Amino acid sequence: MRAFSPSRLAAYVIGVPLLSAGIVVTIRADLGVSPVNSVPFVVSQTSALSLGVASFAIYGLQVALQALVLWRRTTWKVPLQLVGAFLFAWAIGAFDALMPQRAADGWPTSAGLLAAGIALTALGTTLVIRSNLLLAPPDGVVQAVSTRTGWELGTVKIAHDCAMVAIALVVGLAAGQTGLGIGVGTLISALLVGYAIRHFARGFDALMERNEN
């Protein structure tokens, strides 16, 4: 895999807003937040922190986790993810401010927003990871575990998202708000985003192989 190419830079530039929009669209579906943003959401709702600031704080912890997972295989790209974390946190905060707070109106609209959120999150995640540039820290954790274990990216993504949901439940319980932000949409996202990434990643890899050879 090339470290840099114009096509990979384009993938990253497109992937960042797609992933950020997917997170906020899933929240607006009002069926539960996206798994990847479940912990920042619960923290923002139980503290004085905004969603963007809470996201950046959690991202910092995820960067540290990657360093532990990769250990001696850690490269300069891992701490540099803090720059990417700032970009993602800013983009999430911007989309959160711009999108109407009550976007969903009934089950059909909620289901449509959830489907859109899952698709945007999966596609954005695939583009960012496969760009091989600055990863979002949650995606960096997924890639780090996949690299160390050899497990398929989509499989690790599903496990990561389920772990985030479990942590969010514990944080909400500690704050006296059991299940805050967690709903049927969260569980569906935890299973389907990783599944969609498997297919998006295969298609992206085939496209890049044709373009770079």
Max intra-chain CA distance, the chain:
56
The pLDDT score that the predictor gives to residue 96 is: 84
pLDDT, position 205: 73
Given this model, what pLDDT does residue 1 score? 47
C-alpha distance across the termini of the chain, in Å: 11
Predicted local confidence at residue 53, as pLDDT: 85
pLDDT at 82: 80
Predicted confidence at residue 123, as pLDDT, reads 92
User: Residue 211's pLDDT is what?
Assistant: 65
Q: CA dist 30 to 7, 106, 121, 160, Å? A: 35, 10, 16, 22
Structure tokens at 76: 């300069």
Angle at CA of residue 93, ends 91 and 94, nearest 5°: 65
Enumerate residue ranges in the chain where pLDDT < 50: 1
Q: Supply the pLDDT for residue 213.
A: 57
For residue 45, the surrounding DSSP H or E stretch is: helix 38-45
> Which tens digits make up the pLDDT trace of 33-76?
888 889 988 999 888 888 778 888 888 899 889 888 888 777 77
Could you tell me the pTM of the whole model?
0.75
